Structure 1
Amino acid sequence: MIKRRRRFRQTDSLEARLAQFAMNLREEADQKPPGQERNSLLKRAYNADQAIDLERQLREHQ
């Protein structure tokens, strides 16, 4: 029996999803005390922002 992969279309753009993800991480980090866990959340939010910039650059050069 072949397993079928469940596929679906995203309703929001990649940029919108990344922006929402980054915003949620920052909100979660604001509730944490200073420390390793908070820094980790902020780093992930920064990486999401970098991914947004990269996606915009790639879209411009198509």
Structure 2
Amino acid sequence: MAEHHSLKHLTLEDGLSAWANEVREQAGMMARAGTRRLLKKITQADEATKLYKWINSPELQPPK
């Protein structure tokens, strides 16, 4: 649980990456059925990171 508290000091992108890595490690120790659920969460974290990068990219312009 202590790891979750340290994520509060990271950027959203870094926090999502750290969380996805933690879940990947947990998935390696689980049975196949539980792994599928964790892999879905990893995919969601990866997609959230991609969206965060896209939203904060300098190329993204506000609508006119």
Name the TM tier (shorter chain). 0.7 to 0.9
User: Structure 2 CA distance, aligned partners of 1:25 and 1:11?
Assistant: 19
Runs of 4+ displaced beyond 4 Å = none
1:41 equivalenced with 2:38 (yes/no): yes
Opposite residue 27 of structure 2, the aligned amino acid is A
1:58 equivalenced with 2:24 (yes/no): no
Flag structure 2 segments of 5+ consecutive residues without an equivalent: 1-7
Q: Aligned residues: percent identity?
A: 29
Flag structure 1 segments of 5+ consecutive residues without an equivalent: 1-9
Deviation at 1:11, TM superposition (A): 2.3
State the partner residue of 2:24.
26
Give TM-score scaled by structure 1 length. Answer: 0.77
Task: Say which one has the larger Rg.
Answer: 1
Q: How many residues get paired?
A: 52
Supply the RMSD in Å over aligned alpha carbons: 1.2
User: Structure 2 CA distance, aligned partners of 1:42 and 1:20?
Assistant: 14
Look up the SS of the partner of 1:32 in the other structure: coil
Q: Which one has a larger percent helix, Structure 1 or Structure 2?
A: 2
